[in-house]
Amino acid sequence: MKAIVVTDQAAGTAGMTLVERPEPRAAINDVVVQVHASGFVPTEMEWPSTWTDRAGRDRTPSVPGHEVAGVVAAVGYGTTGLSVGQRVFGITDWHRDGTLAEYVAVEARNLAPLPGDVGFTVGASLPISGLTAWQGLFEHGRLQAGQTVLVHGAAGAVGTMVTQLAHEFGAYVIGTGRAADRQKTLDFGAREFIDLENEALEDAGSVDLVFDVIGGDVQRRSARLIRAGGTLVSVVGPTDVRPTDGLAVDFVVESDRAQLGEIAQRIRDGRLRTNIGDIATLDNAVAALNPTERRKGKTIINVRP
């Protein structure tokens, strides 16, 4: 099968090459998915799991991309709940070969049915950003209706999902980003926008929840804005600050069939919009994933256009 592989961590995405690889087999509880569309997170080249298996052994050449939408092509021994021919989407294991390939092996429990009226391109854009937003707001952040949420990077892949879900849930959303992100952030449901490069973050006032995708100084300053009992939710690594009388949580998203279903339902009925930028084929994926200028929205690779 055709697949994009990486072998050299220092080379980053520039080291991606399109090669022929053996098709994966379905291990116990796996399915093999014929990939129709694949999503890639630009920071994957920094994740240890891109380079080693769970025991820390080199696993290169590895196939990046961990969001998939496709069709079940084979079912492993003991696999229940999904059948051959079924449309599915979800997140694949960080430590195994990913979705920038014609086929991927994935544990069935990490996939959910993809409704027939949600296209594969949209399906591949949802799992990581949608589930990260859902879990950060509702599980780790314990969001309540009426609370104020400060969403960093609100025009990004995760941020647009966070903004929409928090807004739908009845929260007051203040989004942040760069000057050019203002209108997009407001269009996705934020009530206010702070341009982090030209305006004071402290203008946000007191908030109940900070959803941080940036880290560093932005995160430290944000922690001071959190009311007693509030939460700093980070997805960019362990936090070195904790809000006074509050919690700081850093987490890594997990696939969840029921939550994927909630997200798909919201796409179907228009409560949620996805944030796709460029769309490319697998043959053009290396160039598309190495843009020469800043891209807006998520790049999706249509493996079976």
What residues line the site for ligand NAP (CB under 6 A)? 41, 43, 128-129, 132, 153, 155-159, 177-178, 181, 196, 213-214, 235-236, 252-253, 294
State the nearest-atom distance from the C-beta of 250 to ligand NAP, in Å. 7
**Nearest CB to ligand NAP, comparing residues 34 and 176:** 176
State the nearest-atom distance from the C-beta of 99 to ligand NAP, in Å. 15
**Nearest CB to ligand NAP, comparing residues 43 and 292:** 43
State the nearest-atom distance from the C-beta of 20 to ligand NAP, in Å. 29
State the nearest-atom distance from the C-beta of 181 to ligand NAP, in Å. 6
**Nearest CB to ligand NAP, comparing residues 90 and 159:** 159
**Nearest CB to ligand NAP, comparing residues 128 and 225:** 128
Specify burial of residue 32 (Cβ count, 10 A radius: 0-12, 13-18, 19+).
buried
3 state DSSP class of 153: coil
Q: Kindly write down the DSSP assignment for every residue of 246-277, as one continuous string.
A: SEEEE------HHHHHHHHHHHHHTS----EE
β 148-151/172-177 pair status: parallel
Spatial CA neighbour of 160 closest among 45, 270, 272, 288: 272
**Nearest CB to ligand NAP, comparing residues 34 and 299:** 299
Spatial CA neighbour of 196 closest among 221, 173, 172, 179: 179
**Nearest CB to ligand NAP, comparing residues 24 and 189:** 189
State the nearest-atom distance from the C-beta of 136 to ligand NAP, in Å. 8
In Å, the largest CA–CA distance within the chain is 57
State the nearest-atom distance from the C-beta of 37 to ligand NAP, in Å. 16
270-66-268 Cα angle (round to 5): 10
Number of residue whose CB is nearest ligand NAP: 156
Rounded distance, CA 35 to CA 114, Å?
A: 13
Rounded distance, CA 151 to CA 184, Å?
A: 13
Spatial CA neighbour of 19 closest among 34, 7, 4, 8: 4
